[in-house]
Structure 1
Amino acid sequence: MTEHQDDQTPDRPRRTIKSFVMRAGRMTEGQQRGLDQGWPRFGLELTDGLRDFDRVFGRQAPRTFEIGFGMGHSTLEMAAAAPEQDFIGVEVHRPGVGALLNGAMTQELTNLRVYSCDALEVLRQCVADASLDRVLLFFPDPWHKSRHHKRRIVQPAFAELVRQKLKVGGVLHMATDWQAYAEHMLEIMNAAPGYRNLGDASGYVPRPEERPITKFERRGERLGHGVWDLKFERQS
């Protein structure tokens, strides 16, 4: 997940601001098994460029693209609950990728494919325009310090890129447990051309049944933390 912002200072090279930080993590045996055995079956490469996902999945079906699936628990739950739909998950952290792949093998899923790289590069390079039914962004890093707000993935350029890749009538669904970030998302998306907010008068939607509740979210609920869901439909 990234946003791009060029540094125009003449004596500095062009740079890219990332919305994520690469973290080293130990692999469990199951996660390593997922990478070793699951990647050849479910893994996709950025270097393969533009893909025909009907050919990749061997069928035409509603298609969901998830940005940053973490350890993959929600992705697996959604894919298992909707075998008639196809899911493309993207995550940079290898233990999470391994966990998702191991889960996909264990559950014998066939409707899931995985990239392990920058999700926005996948959207730019591998996904055809107007080809996605849903884009999911659940609990991205809120970068809550003011000096880090430029790292937040939800920016005008992100909204436009996602709009291009969604079908007309397709939906961007976002969720966060940081109210300030929810307000930022709402401000950015309400100003983005070509979208319709599917929320109520507050701008948000009630938690949709299709979004699994994570252990982290349940813990937050017990502590009185809120979660904000936003849905925006591509209109043009």
Structure 2
Amino acid sequence: MTDPAPPSPGTFRDKPVSFVRRSGRMTEAQERAWVELAPRYVIDVARGSGATSILPGSAIDPAAVWGRQAPLVVEIGSGQGHAIVHAASSAPETDFLAIEVFKAGLARTMLDAERAGARNLRLVEANAPEVLQHLLPEASADEIWVFFPDPWHKNKHTKRRLVTAEFAAIAARAVKDGGMLRLATDWEDYALQMRAVLGESPDFEPTFEGEWAPRFDGRVLTAFERKGERVGREIRDLSYRRRGRS
């Protein structure tokens, strides 16, 4: 897939993003995390047209960033980092990248990663599709996780959903042949959309039989998921393998 031309100077993104970046006050501990821990955990990136954009042509070298050659797992929308900190501390032989736009969530992730000794975790404050398209080299990720993305459940907002045919193509660029794309949502309508999108993708094949994949045992059970189950929201998992490049 060919990267689109960068926006002209003075313009902003020409497509909606899957988030609304809310400003929120951070705690003193979170502010301190940015001062003390960001140099260790946060990848400094060149920006394009927005505060969460990635400048085309600014790809990183994962071996240089993590200081080794290792499998790479990328989580999109890592929130406060519960899932990825648990995963990183449980699998020190694997490298992890958390993508999030909310600064307070990234700060919390760094604090928990430091307590857990998860030195194999890095963070980037950016719009996820641009990270997959511009920051990560092609075929550099072993797995991409999309757990509980914003469902944008109102009809007038569904165009802002992350998982679209365009996203599938961008994810396919970043993931290795044979690598995995894992998704989960508690919103049935979005789960059906995800399944339809990936079912039509020429780059991915399902790894499950029937309607839904088994629950991914690498996803820690968070308070968010427990709350959803308590109020009767069914969690639906999907998993796809990257087909070989022709």
The two structures share one fold, judged by TM-score above 0.5? yes
Q: If the length of structure 1 is used for normalisation, what is the TM-score?
A: 0.91
Deviation at 1:223, TM superposition (A): 2.2
Give 1:17's aligned residue.
16
Give 1:166's aligned residue.
175
Give 2:131's aligned residue.
122
- Kept in 2, the 8 Å contact 1:79–1:85? The answer is yes
What is the SS of the residue equivalent to 1:182? helix
- Kept in 2, the 8 Å contact 1:170–1:233? The answer is yes
Structure 1 runs of 4+ with >2 Å offset: 12-16
CA 1:13/1:132 → structure 2, altered by over 3 Å: closer, same or farther?
Answer: closer
- Kept in 2, the 8 Å contact 1:198–1:232? The answer is yes
C-alpha distance in structure 2 between counterparts of 1:72 and 1:93, whole Å? 11
Whether 2:226 is the aligned partner of 1:227: answer no
CA 1:180/1:128 → structure 2, altered by over 3 Å: closer, same or farther?
Answer: same
Give 1:218's aligned residue.
226
2:218 partner letter: E
- Kept in 2, the 8 Å contact 1:198–1:233? The answer is yes
Give 2:80's aligned residue.
71
- Kept in 1, the 8 Å contact 2:99–2:124? The answer is yes
- Kept in 2, the 8 Å contact 1:90–1:116? The answer is yes
CA 1:30/1:223 → structure 2, altered by over 3 Å: closer, same or farther?
Answer: same
2:112 partner letter: G
Whether 2:208 is the aligned partner of 1:209: answer no
Identity percentage over the alignment?
A: 39
C-alpha distance in structure 2 between counterparts of 1:227 and 1:26, whole Å? 31
Provide Cα deviations, 1:88-108, integer angstroms capped at 9, x if missing partner: 111000100110111122222
CA 1:97/1:168 → structure 2, altered by over 3 Å: closer, same or farther?
Answer: same
C-alpha distance in structure 2 between counterparts of 1:22 and 1:13, whole Å? 15
2:186 partner letter: D
Structure 2 unaligned residues grouped into runs of 5+:
5-10, 47-54
Whether 2:147 is the aligned partner of 1:148: answer no
C-alpha distance in structure 2 between counterparts of 1:38 and 1:14, whole Å? 30
C-alpha distance in structure 1 between counterparts of 2:140 and 2:29, whole Å? 33
Q: If the length of structure 2 is used for normalisation, what is the TM-score?
A: 0.87
Whether 2:119 is the aligned partner of 1:110: answer yes
Deviation at 1:36, TM superposition (A): 1.3
What is the SS of the residue equivalent to 1:46? coil
1:223 partner letter: V
C-alpha distance in structure 1 between counterparts of 2:157 and 2:200, whole Å? 21
Give 2:63's aligned residue.
54
Q: In the alignment, which of 201, 226, 238 is matched to residue 192 of structure 1?
A: 201
Aligned residues, how many?
225
Deviation at 1:14, TM superposition (A): 6.8
2:17 partner letter: K
Structure 1 unaligned residues grouped into runs of 5+:
5-11
Deviation at 1:13, TM superposition (A): 8.2
CA 1:14/1:207 → structure 2, altered by over 3 Å: closer, same or farther?
Answer: closer
Deviation at 1:33, TM superposition (A): 2.0
Whether 2:95 is the aligned partner of 1:96: answer no
Deviates further, 16-25 or 171-180 = 16-25
C-alpha distance in structure 2 between counterparts of 1:55 and 1:13, whole Å? 31
Q: In the alignment, which of 76, 96, 104 is matched to residue 87 of structure 1?
A: 96
Deviation at 1:182, TM superposition (A): 0.2
Report matched runs for 1:14-53 at 5 Å: 15-47=14-46, 49-53=58-62
C-alpha distance in structure 2 between counterparts of 1:14 and 1:46, whole Å? 17
C-alpha distance in structure 1 between counterparts of 2:139 and 2:214, whole Å? 27
